[in-house]
Every structure is written in C-alpha cells, then in structure tokens.
C-alpha cells in the first residue's frame, strides 16, 4: 500500500513532468478539479469499464478528452456537498473513537506516474493496510437504508475497489454518518479487495486509455497538455 512518503514523491514527479505544483486540495475545490482533469477517477470508473460501444463508455471518454483539450470542468456546488463538508470532521472523529485509530489525511492520489488513474478518499488508517471513505447523506432516508440493509450499492462498490487498486490497499471501510440520529449515528462496512473487480480493471482500463488516446489524436492533442497549459499560463494547482 502507498505511504505518505510515496505520495510526496508522486507530487514531485508530477511537478517535474508538467511544471505544475499540486498539493492536498479540498474535494470539490477548483484545485482539486484541475488535478483530476482527464483522469479516470474512482467515482466514475464504472463508466470506463462499461461494455465497448455503449453510450455510457463513449460519453465518459468524450468528457475526459474535452477536459484535456479545454481544461474546462464544471465546478461542484450543492447543498449535498456543503452538508458533507460541514459534518466531515465529526464523522472522522466518530470513526477514530469507535475504532481506536488515527486517520491520515490524503489528497487526490494517482495510481502511478502515468497519471491516468486516480482517486480521492478520506484517508489511510495509520499503521494498517486499510483506507477509509466516509459519506454524510443529506437525506436521512438514505442513511437508514444503509444501516438496515447492511450492504453497499453496486456503483459504490466499483468506487471502493478502484480506490484499493489506486492505493494498493487490501481493505477499505465504507462508513456513513448522520448527526441527526439520536442512536446509531455512525455505521461502517468493511470491504476486502476483490480479485474479480481487479481483473475487470486490468482488462478494461488499458483498452479504455488506448481508445481515449486515439480520440485525443483525432482532435490534435495529447494527454498531459491539460496540465502543461496551466504551467504556461502561470497557474498553480494548489
């Protein structure tokens, strides 16, 4: 599993290659969005592994190509995101207290120095091979469903398995927190690395990247120019 030292080295490698500084950016911020330009991310990876020729796969590829070509990505502003930010610290504290552990903060993480795959997560569990992802549902109905059904939605499972691919972790805790609950305001489900998901990634993602590069060639641009352009403009992802 990656360490904080690995992540620091990755930041330096990114800077050396593209001339742009990246640091731990808050999720949803402009800096965070710029870091993710053209990158296959955990929250969207289910689209990259969709069947060849499907609208889902093609539209996602066009989205990533447009990000590389233009540097444009729509900023995220919503009451749902604001709610999550408001209660993030309390959620982390609840997890650390219940599990007698410490969460190490991390920013956006690339899988390797090709910078084609990446993930944002809430942290590493210090001294373990485990990562943590915490959600604070705006709608309490969704939290109740999570508690009583005791299972993870399919699209979230793709996300957590991809986070393990990116970080090298073997285990992930998926937690939800709702401070409005008088009892059971916090629940976590542990997910282990699944060979079938990892095999799917190994088979489908290289093909997706290859097809994306072909599309980039068709519009006369190459991957990496989204960040080199920021450097030339004097912008700093920070």
Domain limits for position 95: 4-232
d(CA 143, CA 152): 11
Query: Looking at residue 141, what is its pLDDT?
Result: 95
The per-residue DSSP string of 41-55 comes to ETTTHHHHTSPTT-H
> Does a structural domain hold residue 199?
yes
d(CA 164, CA 151): 18
- The DSSP bridge pattern shows strands 117-120 and 123-125 to be unpaired
> Does a structural domain hold residue 44?
yes
Opening angle at CA 139, ends 138 and 142, nearest 5: 115
CA 124 to chain centre: 13
Query: Looking at residue 58, what is its pLDDT?
Result: 98
226, 37 Cβ separation under 8 angstroms? yes
> Does a structural domain hold residue 238?
no
> Does a structural domain hold residue 85?
yes
The number of folded domains in the chain is: 1
Helix (H) or strand (E) holding 188: strand 186-192
Q: What are the mean pLDDT values of the chain's consecutive 10-residue runs (238 residues total)?
A: 89 87 72 92 96 97 97 81 92 95 92 96 94 95 94 90 97 96 94 97 98 98 93 64
Write the CATH number for 179. 3.90.320.10
Supply φ then ψ for residue 202, to 5 degrees. Answer: -60, -35
pTM of the model: 0.92
Query: Looking at residue 29, what is its pLDDT?
Result: 78
Query: Looking at residue 234, what is its pLDDT?
Result: 62
d(CA 151, CA 236): 40
Opening angle at CA 154, ends 156 and 68, nearest 5: 55
> Does a structural domain hold residue 237?
no
d(CA 201, CA 197): 6
Query: Looking at residue 86, what is its pLDDT?
Result: 94
Choose among 207, 135, 224, 206: nearest CA to 165.
Answer: 206
The per-residue DSSP string of 76-107 comes to P--HHHHHHHHHHHHHHHHHHHHHT--EEP--
């Amino acid at each position: 599993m990656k360490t904080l030292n690995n992540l620091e080295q990755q930041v330096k490698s990114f800077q050396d290659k593209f001339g742009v500084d990246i640091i731990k950016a808050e999720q949803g911020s402009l800096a965070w969005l710029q870091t993710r330009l053209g990158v296959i991310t955990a929250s969207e990876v289910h689209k990259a592994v969709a069947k060849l020729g499907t609208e889902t796969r093609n539209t996602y590829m066009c989205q990533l190509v447009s990000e590389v070509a233009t540097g444009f990505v729509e900023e995220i502003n919503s009451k749902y995101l604001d709610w999550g930010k408001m209660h993030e610290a309390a959620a982390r504290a609840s997890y650390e207290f219940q599990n007698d552990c410490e969460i190490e903060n991390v920013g956006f993480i690339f899988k390797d120095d090709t910078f084609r795959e990446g993930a944002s997560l809430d942290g590493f569990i210090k001294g373990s091979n485990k990562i943590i992802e915490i959600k604070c549902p705006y709608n309490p109905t969704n939290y109740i469903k999570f508690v009583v059904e005791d299972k993870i939605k399919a699209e979230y499972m793709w996300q957590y398995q991809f986070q393990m691919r990116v970080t090298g972790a073997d285990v992930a805790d998926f937690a939800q927190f709702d401070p409005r609950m008088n009892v059971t305001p916090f629940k976590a489900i542990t997910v282990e690395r699944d060979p079938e998901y990892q095999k799917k990634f190994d088979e489908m993602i290289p093909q997706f990247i290859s097809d994306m590069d072909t599309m980039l060639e068709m519009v006369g641009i190459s991957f990496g120019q989204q960040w080199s352009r920021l450097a030339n403009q004097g912008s700093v992802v920070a």
